[in-house]
Structure 1
């Protein structure tokens, strides 16, 4: 049976829902929140080292803002109805790009400030129909790993290439395999903003970036955003269903609509270009994919519980507590399990996909050791309780994010199939 993130999410206490909250509005349980926090923290640091500046922006905006951006005329059917506040109408945002455009506009900008990279992991809302909602894969409340770069026209190609490299780094750290790249273009079915010259130029720049990265891709009409073409990074779930994980888009339209400008080298006004990107998409869709790809057995660094401490008998309870305190002090997520037989507790640890179980018997307790068992059944030699702290003083085992600055050598995304060890 193929892994189903809805079943796994509930069995492993990742998320749940309730009719009183509403369809398409799942809540994250403590285990899911712990895993999500680790992933968000990793992404934040990855982006920071790549030159992004993080912001917070409101989840509401005036209807006029979305009329100006073009969302209202092209996207209103997917937005929640406006809320009347006196003479104003406020709308739950369906995207963050108008907010980020106004953040750019809030200060005078010079060509020396460019490229200006802004990132935010924040909520947005889509009025999805009930029939398409499901688990975490399709929701109405979306927590998006979003980002926008404002750059000079001559900087576009480098920025898009750097985004592709950053995506590849994030995908590898999370244990995800890319199935294909898609160049999403406008077509005859949709209504698109902007002129032909801008669309052709943006499409050419995206093709060039894909070619430089050595990525195989296919072109698809009528898959573009209303404001510009995009590269969509596709993944396939265990059941063979394809979905978009990550995206990078070129937008000449919104900088013009919001009258964005910067001072060029001659001191005159110039129009920036807006590059939209999301390294891993929304946290909801991302974790739907991660649950299924890993069958719930997340890599150690973002497993909800990394270590389960199992005392053999009641006499080892204090020693088990000491192991938990040492592990937590080292930055790990650890807990002790005292209830039931040792065999039943080991089986429950495996069922919960906990990477390590530390069995603490009389001999280990007396010697200050732990006997580690991995979730795939392999046994490790007994080791000192403080070995984790000495081996990883920062704790947690989060993947390193050094070397992600834009001056570093570019990583080339690969569409080839590669083996990923989903256990330890």
Structure 2
């Protein structure tokens, strides 16, 4: 595996500045493209699974976090409150209290449940400078978060569905978890004192894991302060584990915020709050993807998907037209012209780009493209529209492969490896 801190800077994905501060990276244009592709993938998957997206503020009154329990159980990891107009406001450490309030702002019937609420939102944690590093541990976090408000009998099914969403996303991203963990409370006063609540939530998640067929380990002292969770663990190049994705069951906050729904009997009932994150924080997900793929990202995720290489300046107008045609198809392409050096040098410089479209005199005259794939395969000249259609299909499928050989025309010459 590669060190994402070094490679991320070499690839111009992100950087830091002491005037901004430790644990507060900024994203460069290619990093922003990668991040945008990742975020849009997650949002599309969530919409497909019936989630509704919201936005909520990154600030809240101190009282909000006193009600949620964060102030008493998580206060050491929060930034100090700010005095504004006679009130104390706090940078939020989590999105769940805001989502609880959004749920509470409207009345709900059992017919609406489960209500799946998602947000890719910012949150802030006062991490000590000694634990900060690259994108893996930061102070400004953008979390792919969601909260499912459901009837108690729906909670296990929703948790299982969230776990399956995580598995699908990891396959699309080429992520290989090192283990699954059932995170349980440990000794000390960090956790909400409600034994029956913990028993119910732990039994529910244990059943979900047992039915999933996944091997898992129980780990005491790793639960959230309000409930147990399923943590999907990944490892960095040094073998250090971190949690990427998570599913949690929460009976605590629905009670603290007085959440309810009207049941079929006309009475008020308390919902269960299932927390889940498919990719965790965008920062940690990108850090892991850089290390996992060494910058050779799946085609749908790559900042530049097609590098267009005119052999000489004479083919530059055709190359620029091809880039515009790529943009019309939603593909990210750029011209690597002769001013950047010899064709061989440009091919080497674009070694991490999934597709290299070479245009010489023959290709320019016939609206053809000679395609090179990142894995070393190359394809003889063929119509540019056919090439773009096939690349577009591979990108739309959001897999980890570079070419759909089954979709290739039988009359075309086969791939050769160079």
TM-score by length of structure 1 reads 0.92
The structure 1 segments of at least 4 consecutive aligned residues displaced by more than 3 Å after TM superposition are 388-393, 398-401, 420-424
2:215: which partner in 1? 216
Kindly indicate whether the alpha-carbon contact (under 8 Å) linking 1:376 and 1:423 is maintained by their aligned counterparts in 2. no
CA distance in 1, matches of 2:37, 2:248: 27
Kindly indicate whether the alpha-carbon contact (under 8 Å) linking 2:68 and 2:257 is maintained by their aligned counterparts in 1. yes
CA distance in 2, matches of 1:85, 1:312: 61
Q: How far apart are residue 191 of structure 1 and its match? A: 2.1
Structure 2 vs 1, CA of residues 277 and 285 (structure 1 numbering), >3 Å: closer, same or farther? Answer: same
Kindly indicate whether the alpha-carbon contact (under 8 Å) linking 1:327 and 1:333 is maintained by their aligned counterparts in 2. yes
2:342: which partner in 1? 341
RMSD: 1.7
Q: How far apart are residue 324 of structure 1 and its match? A: 1.1
Kindly indicate whether the alpha-carbon contact (under 8 Å) linking 1:326 and 1:385 is maintained by their aligned counterparts in 2. no
1:10-409 aligned at under 5 Å gives the runs 10-338=9-337, 339=339, 340-350=341-351, 353-391=352-390, 397-399=395-397
Q: How far apart are residue 317 of structure 1 and its match? A: 1.0
Structure 2 vs 1, CA of residues 206 and 42 (structure 1 numbering), >3 Å: closer, same or farther? Answer: same
Kindly indicate whether the alpha-carbon contact (under 8 Å) linking 2:116 and 2:149 is maintained by their aligned counterparts in 1. yes
Kindly indicate whether the alpha-carbon contact (under 8 Å) linking 1:297 and 1:423 is maintained by their aligned counterparts in 2. no
CA distance in 1, matches of 2:216, 2:388: 45
CA distance in 1, matches of 2:89, 2:118: 23
Q: How far apart are residue 157 of structure 1 and its match? A: 0.9
TM-score by length of structure 2 reads 0.93
CA distance in 2, matches of 1:114, 1:304: 38
Kindly indicate whether the alpha-carbon contact (under 8 Å) linking 2:369 and 2:387 is maintained by their aligned counterparts in 1. no
Kindly indicate whether the alpha-carbon contact (under 8 Å) linking 2:181 and 2:217 is maintained by their aligned counterparts in 1. yes
Kindly indicate whether the alpha-carbon contact (under 8 Å) linking 2:198 and 2:228 is maintained by their aligned counterparts in 1. yes
Q: How far apart are residue 367 of structure 1 and its match? A: 1.2
CA distance in 1, matches of 2:160, 2:13: 34
Q: Show structure 2 runs of 5+ residues with no match.
A: 405-418
Which secondary structure does the structure 2 equivalent of 1:276 belong to? strand
1:411: which partner in 2? none
CA distance in 2, matches of 1:396, 1:59: 37
CA distance in 1, matches of 2:89, 2:284: 27
Q: Show structure 1 runs of 5+ residues with no match.
A: 402-419
Which secondary structure does the structure 2 equivalent of 1:382 belong to? strand
CA distance in 2, matches of 1:345, 1:190: 59
- More relative contact order, 1 or 2 (CA 8 Å, 6+ apart): 1
Q: Residue by residue, what CA displacement relative to the aligned partner does 1:18-64 show, whole Å, maximum 9, x if unpaired?
A: 11111111011111111111111111011111111100000000000
Kindly indicate whether the alpha-carbon contact (under 8 Å) linking 1:42 and 1:398 is maintained by their aligned counterparts in 2. no
CA distance in 1, matches of 2:306, 2:258: 53
CA distance in 2, matches of 1:147, 1:37: 18
CA distance in 1, matches of 2:350, 2:217: 43
CA distance in 1, matches of 2:55, 2:348: 43
Q: How far apart are residue 331 of structure 1 and its match? A: 1.2
Kindly indicate whether the alpha-carbon contact (under 8 Å) linking 2:353 and 2:374 is maintained by their aligned counterparts in 1. yes
